[in-house]
A and B are shown apart, each in its own frame.
Chain A
Amino acid sequence: MLKLWSMQQQQAASTPGGAKKRVTAAQLRVQKDLSELALGPTMKTEFPNPDDILNFILTIEPDEGLYNGGRFTFDFAINQNFPHEPPKVRCREKIYHPNINLEGNVCLNILREDWKPVLNLHAVIVGLQFLFLEPNASDPLNKIAAEDLKNSRETFKRNVRSSMMGNSVKGETFDRVMK
């Protein structure tokens, strides 16, 4: 190991040892992801505690598609295992959507089975936005909504509008999400 130490001497220029309170690896990565985040006018993030960048709220206000005119918010909870583990994302409103269930769980491949550490927060956020533009009946989490979409796009569209106003659809009352 003596040899090792002499190599070390040559390599390390001049680094100080032992900073107190180091920034964690997950924080470093999230900071990088946030700086690369380029959200359009339809989305914004909000940090209830600005010192805690691992927990924030994303607001999506689609300006086209079936969910046009609504305001949807998502809780993002990132743990110290990020990016080994994906962020946990949950819709805060009770909405009528084939890929989001009544508890707010979201079926998006990159949030679960297809997550990879090379993906970043931008990819997740774009993925969420896409769900509002193209709800997907073949990956249903809310089976009733998915069936409706499969059977008749017109009926589904009416149900979406009605649910967004805060009315009930097939006996289930939804949160009002109109801006």
Chain B
Amino acid sequence: MADTAMPDSSPPLGAADPRTRWRYLDNILTRKGPFVDEDAILGEPIIDRLSTMKVLFSGAGGLGCEILKNLALSGFKDIHVIDMDTIDVSNLNRQFLFRHVDVGRSKAAVAAEFVQKRVKGVTITPYCGKIQDKDDEYYMQFGLVVCGLDSIEARRWINATLVGMVDGENMDSMKPLIDGGTEGFKGQARVVLPTMTSCIECQLDMHAPRPAVPLCTLATIPRQPQHCIEWAHIIAWEEERKDDTLDTDDPEHITWLYQKALSRATEYGIHGVTYAMTQGVVKNIIPAIASTNAIVAAACCNEAFKLATSTNPCLGFPEQNNYMMYSGDSGVYTYTFEHMKKEDCPVCGDLPKTLHLYPNSTLQELLDSFAERPEAQLKKPTIRTQSTSLYYQSPASLEEKTRPNLVKKLSELVGDGEELAVTDPAFQVTFRFKVAFKK
């Protein structure tokens, strides 16, 4: 009977039969369950799709390590990962793909290496840099985009890029975006189908701005150690070291702020200012909770898997739930709902339409033509490109400075393929056009 206590003799996961490792997954991929989409073609075709679909993942941080590992273990086999950061000692407690020897190396590269080594048959292509370095052509190659980013700015950028890429003529141009985010005990997972459902920009007000203390409280009646640190950060530095640019990664700078904060705290009889707290307040560090990351990452990868395989209903379809919030503050709570698309969303509210223009016509002629457009008569259009203010109706100073552009030829002002943003006081939405010059 001693035998029964021994481990069974089946080969280790991943050895011998290449599908052994995926047998649990295969149960889902080959069997028809009650929730499986009726159009889903189970078995080989779906397994094939999962393993050939290119997935882009950006943000190999706390949430990112979890997501990358989960994606690889969900059966995705061609994963690209982007992250601009290098590994810091303070990451090691939760970013489990990194070891002490990796400190200083690229997060994307180390994470890719680690997961590739552990999950045989997966190819992970790292890119160390910003998502903004890449163009539409790069993003076009993927079937899905998953994000574990740490800034609103990066989220808005990838969102605007994916919305802008959608081409009604080409169904492959619509890349579902799965966005995960965590902050302490809270987190969210959401699915955006660019141009079809509520986008990140529509949901901008779902992000609570960072709570701030009134400046006058910092200046005159600090009550908490954090107030003293913020005072040193915002006011004392400005007064005494105006010409130095504050670098929150420079220990000398943090030490200076810490000393300042400490002496101010002593002056007001406040206890508790420490070096670590100074670092935390100045860099706006919110303690990361590993389990929040794990839960949100699991939710994101679940959605990615369901989207790719149709084996279960997923978040994000039009008129269905697209946003899952999680809170672990007191007990465990999740709420899933449909965030509605905003009609006047500056990114997905009015999609750029192609505008065929003669390069030799003037800006004035273009503006006049806007007043005659059948769908929206723009009587007082203000117009710009990303780089240039073409014509502003107001304020007066901008009107005056942009007026000389009116007589210029369009070819001098805009490039072929550039985007024009047109606003008019009579309309809530911003109209956008993509310039296509007539030959």
Contact = CB atoms under 8 A, between A and B. Distances in A.
B216 A141 contact: yes
Contact of A15 (B39, B195, B207, B307): B195
Contacts of B346: 25, 28-29, 32
A109 B214 contact: yes
Nearest to B405: A50
Contacts of A27: 384, 386, 421
Among A2, A32, A85, A116: residue with most chain B CB under 10 A: A32
A105 interface: yes
B401 A50 contact: yes
B406 to A, nearest CB: 13
Given A15-B168, A20-B418, A3 B219 contact: no
Contact of B234 (A46, A81, A105): A105
Nearest to B382: A35
Interface string A124-144: 000000000000000111010
A112 B430 contact: no
B214 A112 contact: yes
B164 interface: yes
A159 interface: no
Interface stretch (A5-13, A62-70, A160-168, A171-179): A5-13
Interface stretch (B77-85, B97-105, B388-396): B388-396
A34 B392 contact: yes
Contacts of A39: 395
Interface string A102-117: 1101110100110111
Interface string B406-435: 000000000101111101110000101010
Contact of B397 (A2, A3, A47, A113): A47
A51 interface: yes
Given A3-B37, A14-B168, A19-B419, A35 B425 contact: yes
B209 interface: yes
B394 A37 contact: yes
Contact of A12 (B152, B195, B234, B238): B195
Interface string B228-257: 000000110011001000000000000000
B321 to A, nearest CB: 15
A31 B430 CA distance: 9
Contact of A16 (B207, B307, B352): B352
Contacts of A51: 387-389
B302 interface: no
A78 to B, nearest CB: 13
Interface stretch (B19-27, B60-68, B112-120, B170-178): B170-178
Nearest to B355: A16
A170 interface: no
B215 interface: yes
A18 B165 CA distance: 5
Contacts of B37: 3
A141 B215 contact: yes
| Size band of the interface chain A makes with B | 35 or more
A53 interface: yes
Nearest to A80: B153
Contact of B164 (A2, A19, A50, A107): A19
Main SS of chain A's interface residues? loop
Interface in B165-210: 165-171, 173-174, 176, 193, 195-196, 201, 204-205, 207, 209
Contacts of B424: 35
B216 A24 contact: no
A140 B193 contact: no
Contacts of B415: 20-21
B239 A44 contact: no
B389 A112 contact: no
A101 to B, nearest CB: 7
A140 B212 CA distance: 17
Given A2-B39, A34-B395, A19 B174 contact: no
A82 to B, nearest CB: 10
A17 B166 contact: yes
B336 interface: no
A86 to B, nearest CB: 8
A114 B185 CA distance: 24
Contacts of B136: 17-18
Contacts of B417: 18-21
B108 to A, nearest CB: 23
Contact of A113 (B213, B234, B239, B385): B213
A8 B175 CA distance: 11
Given A45-B398, A47-B398, 20 more contacts: A2-B310, A7-B196, A12-B196, A19-B417, A20-B417, A23-B385, A23-B386, A24-B160, A34-B398, A35-B423, A44-B396, A50-B389, A53-B384, A53-B392, A83-B204, A84-B152, A84-B204, A85-B209, A103-B235, A103-B239
22 contacts: A2-B310, A4-B193, A7-B317, A8-B195, A12-B166, A17-B136, A21-B418, A22-B386, A23-B384, A24-B160, A25-B201, A28-B421, A31-B430, A34-B392, A34-B394, A35-B423, A53-B392, A53-B398, A84-B209, A113-B213, A117-B205, A141-B216
Interface of A: 1-5, 7-9, 11-25, 27-29, 31-32, 34-37, 39, 44-47, 50-51, 53, 80-81, 83-85, 99, 101-103, 105-107, 109, 112-113, 115-118, 139-141, 143, 146
